[in-house]
A and B are shown apart, each in its own frame.
Chain A
Amino acid sequence: MISFEYIADNIDKWLNNTFSPWLALTIEFVIVGVLCIGLFAVLGLVLIMMERKVSAYMQVRLGPNRVGPKGMFQTVADTLKLLVKEGLTPAGSDKFLFNLAPFVVMIAAMLVLAPIAFAKNFQIWDINIGVLYVSAVSSIGVIGILMAGWASNNKYSLLGAMRSGAQIVSYELSAGLSILVVVIFTGDLSISQIIESQQTGWWIFRGHIPMLIAFIIFIIAVTAETNRAPFDLAEAESELTAGFHTEYSGMKFALFFLAEYVNIFIVCAIGATLFLGGWMPLHIGNWEAFNSIMDWIPSSLWFVGKTFFLIFVIMWFRWTFPRLRIDQLLNLEWKYLLPISMFNLLLATLIAIQGWYF
């Protein structure tokens, strides 16, 4: 059966037989890099299209419907437009940091891609501290935003960057605590082990109450961490023009925009991995017949399906809820999410020790 694992293994074997090990490894690096960049490009096109269509349907509109069948090539046209636009650098800006910032944001998003398992045994780097790595590296992205806000030499950008910094630093806490709940149940940090532990059912079903609370808190926290509405104070069109990327144009703006959508994909992939079993098909306990039917669906489809379901949920949030004020945002984190997730952590520890889960 053709699967990603099979293809990757065969390419690896062929390269190692044809070239020397070092050359084979270098070629594999190049292939992985090209695939990552390709994935980013495709994700940018697909997710922006999806966002525009979802928003249109939720607002009883049609959305883009001119370029190509049902407007499917609208984002391609938009990307071409951004590619040929002039990348302006404002005169009063710190030019070095201004031009560096979009790349920092992009590289941070790219690094987080490493430990994500896209299909069964199809993973760039099965690092033994998987989720810790993800939460560590994703915090580099905020530096890019702060850099962009400062280097633009614009008060809107600076305000947007400061809001973004405060928001990401505080919501990282509850995101981390809800990830810890899964780690408590699994007893391991590596992504592949976490997926393996969901062989008999996804954690959101097996871990019942604490897992459900952790899942809800995780979704809220990552929505805030990716600077999306209702937590888009960093951009806040109606107050700050465009926040930290007010001064950016052309391809540099496109990089910020792309990084935002790639970050959504990544956090949703992490959420799907931790709570919904990643590529693991829907298994229910010892129902062998049911499980084997579910195994017929390829693991990559399970992963993509779950991830896009979570992306849809986050888009659903965006087009339903109004934006929070900065004090409401911080109240939500420090007065509600953080205490709840701390108690939830204790509850999860109790349940995990007593073995009161399925």
Chain B
Amino acid sequence: MSAYEIIFYLLAAFILGNGILAMTTTKIFRAAIFLLFTLIGVAGLYFWMQIEFVAAVQIIVYVGGIVVLIIFSIFLTQQSGLEMPKATLQRKIFSGIAAICGAGLTGLLISQYGFTNNPDAVLDDSVQNIGTQMLDYEDVGFALPFEVISILLLAAMIGAIVIAMKSKVEES
């Protein structure tokens, strides 16, 4: 087993271990922190695959954005410092079934895809290439999804501002 593989298994153990801890802990803030470690582990996996751009984006979006938001919402929740009650048996059974179904579906898809090992395919992950493809409307471009997502985010932002805005009618 080469060091490359050893690092992969270490990362995988880190991700899975933290994922299990995030599920089983009864303190909600700890769960958020373990989730954070899982996401950092996934970023580490991207670094291991040497696609640094995706890794950096993973850290920016998930660690810097989403987990901080989760933690903020925990801070602002009442009695979030208390331990949560253990899950009931009914819940455990149903969540177990859901997890098995999800894992089965994913496994089925992966086994059907049949990864072909193609050493000739060179992955050009330079940022220049990503940027060009993102705004390219030719054959290999992603201009349409990019713009659609931009509009979605813009709509979400405007919605947030509208919700947060004080209406002047109420004040007077």
- Please give, as numbers and ranges, the residues of chain A lying within 8 Å of B72 by CB-CB distance: 162, 165
Question: Per a CB cutoff under 8 Å, which of A128, A133, A146 touches B71?
Answer: A146
- Please give, as numbers and ranges, the residues of chain A lying within 8 Å of B33 by CB-CB distance: 97, 143, 147
Interface residues on A, range: 20 to 34
The answer to whether B56 and A165 touch across the interface, beta carbons within 8 angstroms, is no
The answer to whether B60 and A135 touch across the interface, beta carbons within 8 angstroms, is yes
Question: Contacts A94-B29, A128-B127, A133-B52 hold; do A165 and B60 have CB atoms under 8 A apart?
Answer: no
Question: Contacts A127-B52, A143-B36, A143-B67 hold; do A136 and B59 have CB atoms under 8 A apart?
Answer: yes
The answer to whether A165 and B68 touch across the interface, beta carbons within 8 angstroms, is yes
The answer to whether A158 and B75 touch across the interface, beta carbons within 8 angstroms, is yes
Question: Per a CB cutoff under 8 Å, which of A133, A142, A147 touches B64?
Answer: A142
Chain B window 119-134, contacts with chain A (Cβ cutoff 8 Å), 1 for yes, 0 for no:
0000000111000000
Question: Per a CB cutoff under 8 Å, which of B29, B56, B57, B65 touches A150?
Answer: B29
Number of interface residues, chain B, beta carbon within 8 A: 26
Please give the distance in Å from B80's CB to the nearest CB on chain A: 9
- Please give, as numbers and ranges, the residues of chain A lying within 8 Å of B65 by CB-CB distance: 169
The answer to whether B53 and A142 touch across the interface, beta carbons within 8 angstroms, is no
- Please give, as numbers and ranges, the residues of chain A lying within 8 Å of B75 by CB-CB distance: 146, 150, 158, 161-162
Chain B window 70-87, contacts with chain A (Cβ cutoff 8 Å), 1 for yes, 0 for no:
011011000001000000
Complex Cα spacing A140 to B61, Å: 11
- Please give, as numbers and ranges, the residues of chain B lying within 8 Å of A146 by CB-CB distance: 68, 71, 75
A349 sits at the interface (CB 8 A): no
Give chain A interface residues in 81-110, CB to chain B under 8 Å.
94, 96-97
The answer to whether B71 and A153 touch across the interface, beta carbons within 8 angstroms, is no
Question: Contacts A97-B33, A128-B52, A189-B127 hold; do A137 and B68 have CB atoms under 8 A apart?
Answer: no
Chain B window 12-55, contacts with chain A (Cβ cutoff 8 Å), 1 for yes, 0 for no:
00000000000000010110010010001000000000001100
- Please give, as numbers and ranges, the residues of chain B lying within 8 Å of A161 by CB-CB distance: 75
- Please give, as numbers and ranges, the residues of chain B lying within 8 Å of A132 by CB-CB distance: 53, 56-57, 60, 127
Listed residue (A128, A129, A142) with the most chain B CB atoms within 10 angstroms of its CB: A129
Complex Cα spacing A130 to B13, Å: 28
The answer to whether A139 and B59 touch across the interface, beta carbons within 8 angstroms, is yes
Complex Cα spacing A137 to B56, Å: 8
Q: Is the interface of A mostly helix, strand, loop or mixed?
A: helix
Please give the distance in Å from A234's CB to the nearest CB on chain B: 14
Complex Cα spacing A142 to B63, Å: 10
- Please give, as numbers and ranges, the residues of chain B lying within 8 Å of A22 by CB-CB distance: 3
- Please give, as numbers and ranges, the residues of chain A lying within 8 Å of B71 by CB-CB distance: 143, 146, 150, 165
Closest chain B residue, CB of each to CB of A161: B75
- Please give, as numbers and ranges, the residues of chain B lying within 8 Å of A172 by CB-CB distance: 64
Question: Per a CB cutoff under 8 Å, which of B3, B30, B57, B64 touches A94?
Answer: B30
Complex Cα spacing A153 to B60, Å: 28
Complex Cα spacing A22 to B4, Å: 12
Complex Cα spacing A147 to B31, Å: 12
The answer to whether B68 and A129 touch across the interface, beta carbons within 8 angstroms, is no
The answer to whether B29 and A140 touch across the interface, beta carbons within 8 angstroms, is no
Complex Cα spacing A133 to B58, Å: 11
Chain A window 305-339, contacts with chain B (Cβ cutoff 8 Å), 1 for yes, 0 for no:
00000000000000000000000000000000000
Complex Cα spacing A133 to B43, Å: 11
Complex Cα spacing A77 to B145, Å: 59
- Please give, as numbers and ranges, the residues of chain B lying within 8 Å of A133 by CB-CB distance: 52, 56
The answer to whether A142 and B56 touch across the interface, beta carbons within 8 angstroms, is no
The answer to whether A94 and B27 touch across the interface, beta carbons within 8 angstroms, is yes
Question: Contacts A140-B40, A153-B81 hold; do A97 and B63 have CB atoms under 8 A apart?
Answer: no
- Please give, as numbers and ranges, the residues of chain A lying within 8 Å of B60 by CB-CB distance: 132, 135-136, 139
- Please give, as numbers and ranges, the residues of chain A lying within 8 Å of B29 by CB-CB distance: 94, 97, 150-151
The answer to whether B63 and A140 touch across the interface, beta carbons within 8 angstroms, is yes
**What would 14 A/B residue contacts be, using CB atoms closer than 8 Å?**
A94-B30, A96-B30, A128-B52, A129-B53, A132-B60, A136-B56, A136-B57, A139-B59, A139-B68, A140-B40, A146-B68, A158-B75, A165-B72, A172-B64
- Rank and list the top 3 A-B pairs by shortest CB-CB distance, nearest first: A139-B64, A136-B59, A136-B56
Which residues does A use to contact B, with CB under 8 Å? 22, 94, 96-97, 127-129, 132-133, 135-137, 139-140, 142-143, 146-147, 150-151, 153, 158, 161-162, 165, 169, 172, 187, 189
Apart from A132-B56, A165-B71, what are 16 other A-B pairs with CB-CB below 8 Å? A22-B3, A96-B30, A128-B127, A132-B53, A132-B57, A132-B60, A132-B127, A133-B56, A135-B60, A137-B59, A140-B59, A142-B64, A143-B68, A146-B71, A146-B75, A187-B128
